């Protein structure tokens, strides 16, 4: 029997399976391109579509990296998630510290969203319109957008994205909101309010950045997904990785595999969990060691591009979890 790769198994389940992609790695690493095209049918620009990289100076856009990633996706039959239009990080100083009036700020935000969403219309299937607007305790994060525009910034951002591309699916995306907890409760209340106001929002992204030492409660993740599905919203796992501490042990790798499998099973059993995206292709390119010293090995392929137990566990879940 021909070997089945992740994307073949996922395709049979109608599931998009993706990874975050670095433009530099895509250009410079042939093995990276080979694994990416072989295993995934979706990708997210890890950084290339963020405000700062795309719009480094007022009115000046830099699309080369994002265009290269989108072209690779098109050439390899892959869907693209757009990440992200409104986020407090990787904001260029000209915007974050521009001291604009409300009206000028609104014009700049509308211009950014319209320019970016229009450019990738028909090439991006879903946008993380707003990313990480809440604190872990469920309160509003004090972002430049909240300061400039008040809480309505979410509503206007979704409307502008919809104006620019009425067909693209619009998501709210966040981390540490995977289980039913204070943060996901706040997100649930917010998306309910947006829906009641007729705001064009179509889904919620659960980033799923986990650690092997976490207490995972799959039933709580399933209940969280269900309550968003019950609102008529899609849910996508948007940035999964499962980090461990050095020295990485065999038991860590096995626990990691079990965590990946449990979340995949929750996704496959959900009414609408349409995508499962990991945040990086191989451990060599993971963001984690740069941020969490002495931690890493969070992805499906090791630093040499070899599949780990977690990769096999996902294939097994996709193969076994028949509806
Ligand atoms: O490109 C510059 C390079 O020119 C410069 O020499 C270098 C050193 O300063 O920085 C490079 O930019 C870095 C960029 O990644 C590209 O490598 C930024 O400093 C660094 O902050 C940035 O980190 C990214 C981070 O988001 C912040 O944007 C990570 O790669 C990326 O994995 C991470 O992803 C986020 C999601 O977007 C949202 N959810 C959480 C997730 C993890 O933080």
Q: Could you report the per-residue pLDDT of 109-132, keeping only the tens digit for each?
A: 999 999 999 999 999 999 999 999
pLDDT band of 170, cuts 50, 70, 90: very high
High-pLDDT (> 90) share of the chain, %: 98
Ligand 1 centre distance from Cα of residue 323 (Å): 38
What is the C-alpha to C-alpha distance for residues 301 and 40, in angstroms, rounded to an integer? 13
Is the pLDDT score of 154 beyond 70?
Answer: yes
**Mean pLDDT, range 95-103, rounded to an integer:** 93
Matching residue, tokens 């620019």: 164
The pLDDT tens digits for 251-307 are: 999 999 999 999 999 999 999 999 999 999 999 999 999 999 999 999 999 999 999
**Ligand 1 atom closest to residue 52's alpha carbon, by position in its atom list:** 28
**Mean pLDDT, range 213-226, rounded to an integer:** 97
Is residue 241 within 8 A of residue 288, CB to CB? The reply is yes
What is the model's pTM? 0.98
Ligand 1 centre distance from Cα of residue 120 (Å): 22
pLDDT band of 320, cuts 50, 70, 90: confident
pLDDT band of 85, cuts 50, 70, 90: very high
Residue 252 has a pLDDT of 98
Is residue 210 within 8 A of residue 241, CB to CB? The reply is yes
Q: Does the annotation mark 39 as catalytic?
A: no
What is the C-alpha to C-alpha distance for residues 210 and 122, in angstroms, rounded to an integer? 32
Ligand 1 atom 22: residue of nearest CA: 47
Angle at 199 (CA atoms; ends 198, 200), nearest 5 degrees: 110
High-pLDDT (> 70) share of the chain, %: 99
Give one word for 179, left, alpha or beta, with left for phi > 0 and alpha for psi -120 to 50.
Answer: beta
Residue 322 has a pLDDT of 54
Residue 1 has a pLDDT of 61
CA distances from 270 to 16, 44, 82, 208, 235 (A): 14, 22, 23, 16, 9
| Token pair in block for residue 50 | 């963020």
Pocket perturbation via mutation, ligand 1, pick of 28, 46, 237, 279 by most ligand atoms within 8 A of CB: 46
Is the pLDDT score of 323 beyond 80?
Answer: no
Ligand 1 centre distance from Cα of residue 139 (Å): 25
Ligand 1 centre distance from Cα of residue 50 (Å): 10
Q: Does the annotation mark 246 as catalytic?
A: no
The pLDDT tens digits for 188-214 are: 999 999 999 999 999 999 999 999 999
**Mean pLDDT, range 129-137, rounded to an integer:** 98
| Token pair in block for residue 239 | 């940035």
Is the pLDDT score of 101 beyond 60?
Answer: yes
Residue 271 has a pLDDT of 98
Residue 230 has a pLDDT of 98
241 vs 99 pLDDT, higher one = 241
The pLDDT tens digits for 43-71 are: 999 999 999 999 999 999 999 999 999 99
Is residue 313 within 8 A of residue 257, CB to CB? The reply is yes
Helix/strand/coil (H/E/C) assignment for every residue in the chain: CCCCCHHHHHHHCCCEEEEEECHHHHHHCHHHHHHHHHHCCEEEECCCCCHHHHCCECCECCCHHHHHHHHHHHHCCCEEEEEEEECCCCCCHHHHCCCCCHHHHHHHHHHHHHHHHHHCCCCCCEEEEEECCECCCCCECCCHHHHHHCCCHHHHHHHHHHHHCCCCEEEEEECCCCCCCHHHHHHHHHHHHHHHCCCCCCEEEECCEEECCCCCCHHHHHHHHHHHHHCCCEEEEEEEEEEEECCCCHHHHHHHHHHHHHHHHHHHHCCCEEEEEECCCEHHHCCHHHHCCCEECCCCECCCCCECHHHHHHHHHHHHCCC
CA-CA-CA-CA torsion sign (24, 29, 32, 38): positive
Which of the following is catalytic: 132, 250, 312, 321? Answer: 132
**Ligand 1 atom closest to residue 90's alpha carbon, by position in its atom list:** 28
Residue 2 has a pLDDT of 74
């Amino acid at each position: 029997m021909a070997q089945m790769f992740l994307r073949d198994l996922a395709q049979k389940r109608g599931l998009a399976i993706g990874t975050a992609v670095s433009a530099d790695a895509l250009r410079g690493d042939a093995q990276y391109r080979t694994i990416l095209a072989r295993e995934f049918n979706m990708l997210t620009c890890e950084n290339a579509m963020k405000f700062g990289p795309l719009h480094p100076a007022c009115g000046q856009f830099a699309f080369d990296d994002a265009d290269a990633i989108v072209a690779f996706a098109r050439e390899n039959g892959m869907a693209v998630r757009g990440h992200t239009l409104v986020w407090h990080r990787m904001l260029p100083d000209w915007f974050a510290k521009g001291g604009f009036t409300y009206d000028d700020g609104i014009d700049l935000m509308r211009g950014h969203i319209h320019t970016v969403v229009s450019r990738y219309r028909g090439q991006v299937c879903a946008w993380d319109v707003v990313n990480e607007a809440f604190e872990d305790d469920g309160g509003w994060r004090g972002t430049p957008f909240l300061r400039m525009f008040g809480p309505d910034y979410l509503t206007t951002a979704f409307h502008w994205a919809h104006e620019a591309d009425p067909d693209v699916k619009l998501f709210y995306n966040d981390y540490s909101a995977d289980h039913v907890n204070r943060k996901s409760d706040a997100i649930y209340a917010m998306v309910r309010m947006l829906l009641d106001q007729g705001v064009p929002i179509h889904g919620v992204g659960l980033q799923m950045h986990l650690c092997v030492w976490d207490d995972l409660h799959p039933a709580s993740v399933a209940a969280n997904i269900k309550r968003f599905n019950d609102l008529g919203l899609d849910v996508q796992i948007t940035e999964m990785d499962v980090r461990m501490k050095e020295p990485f042990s065999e038991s860590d790798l096995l626990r990691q595999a079990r965590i990946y499998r449990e979340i995949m099973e929750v996704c496959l059993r959900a009414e609408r969990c349409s995508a499962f995206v990991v945040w990086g292709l191989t451990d060599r390119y993971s963001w984690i060691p740069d941020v969490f010293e002495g931690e890493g090995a969070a992805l499906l392929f090791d630093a040499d591009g070899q599949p780990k137990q977690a990769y096999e566990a996902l294939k097994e879940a996709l193969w076994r979890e028949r509806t």
